[in-house]
Amino acid sequence: MGQLADSPNKLEWRRIMKQARDELDVTTRTNQSKILCEKVEYELLAPLREQLRRPLTVCIYAAFRSEADPSAILSRSLVSGDRCLAPRVVHNEAEMELRVVTAVSPWSRGRWSVPEPDPMHTELWDLAQPIDVVLVPGLAFNVRGERLGYGGGYYDRLYEKLHQVSQHPSLWIGFGYSNQFIGQRLPTETHDLKLDGVVTDQQFCWTTKTE
């Protein structure tokens, strides 16, 4: 991974972190995604089901390009009786909606060809209803709960909207490869979401959310 200056801007961070992720070969990404999914199940979802004594409501994205792939979590959650949601970009609007999904595929191609639930075959989720866990993709994460996204702000606005309309706190979990979890501060703004935890192929950790 390339070296960053003490206070790099977001564009430079995105360039370097995207390059680091893209440099992982397909086999490595597949193997690390499998480990990631197992960690989420055994270190987060299964204990949470046991604690709450009920199935969960989990929001799971569909991987795009070199992103860590959480599809095995979707498959296992459906078998476990969880309610599974997935984000969809609302066309002509700068926001995402959530839809109830009942299978890993087929999904449609949305904006920028990102896989998303087909609105013709999925039910719209009421954001005021409780969501237990939201898995969040990104380019970089750290133990402070800071996340480097892609610049569109979609997850930040979803985070803000859920906080406004839902009385049920959700766990926001960064999901990525070990080379995306860094020890440095990330450039953030006041509207950026703060993660509750981060999972990689090497660890699951709760974040400090230190200001």
- For the chain of 211 residues, list the mean pLDDT of each consecutive stretch of 10: 55 94 98 98 98 98 96 96 96 88 82 86 95 98 95 93 93 98 90 94 88 50
Q: Under a CB-based contact definition with an 8 Å cutoff, are residues 129 and 179 in contact?
A: no
**149 carries a ligand binding annotation:** yes
Q: What pLDDT does residue 6 have?
A: 43
Any residues with CB less than 8 A from the CB of 41 and at least 6 apart, and which? 73, 76
Q: Under a CB-based contact definition with an 8 Å cutoff, are residues 176 and 68 in contact?
A: yes
Distance between CA atoms of residues 101 and 170, nearest Å: 19
Q: What pLDDT does residue 5 have?
A: 43
Q: Which domains does the chain have, with CATH numbers?
A: 10-206 (3.40.50.10420)
**10 carries a ligand binding annotation:** yes
Q: What pLDDT does residue 3 have?
A: 46
**152 carries a ligand binding annotation:** yes
**147 carries a ligand binding annotation:** yes
Q: What pLDDT does residue 8 have?
A: 58
Q: What pLDDT does residue 34 have?
A: 98
Q: Is the peptide bond before 106 cis (omega within 30 degrees of 0)?
A: yes
Any residues with CB less than 8 A from the CB of 87 and at least 6 apart, and which? 59, 61, 96, 97, 98, 99, 116, 154, 155, 158
**67 carries a ligand binding annotation:** yes
**107 carries a ligand binding annotation:** no
**42 carries a ligand binding annotation:** no
**174 carries a ligand binding annotation:** no
Q: What pLDDT does residue 160 have?
A: 94
**162 carries a ligand binding annotation:** no
**123 carries a ligand binding annotation:** no
- Which of 32, 35, 1, 154 shows the shortest CA–CA distance to 90? 154
Q: What pLDDT does residue 74 have?
A: 96
Distance between CA atoms of residues 201 and 33, nearest Å: 7
**148 carries a ligand binding annotation:** yes
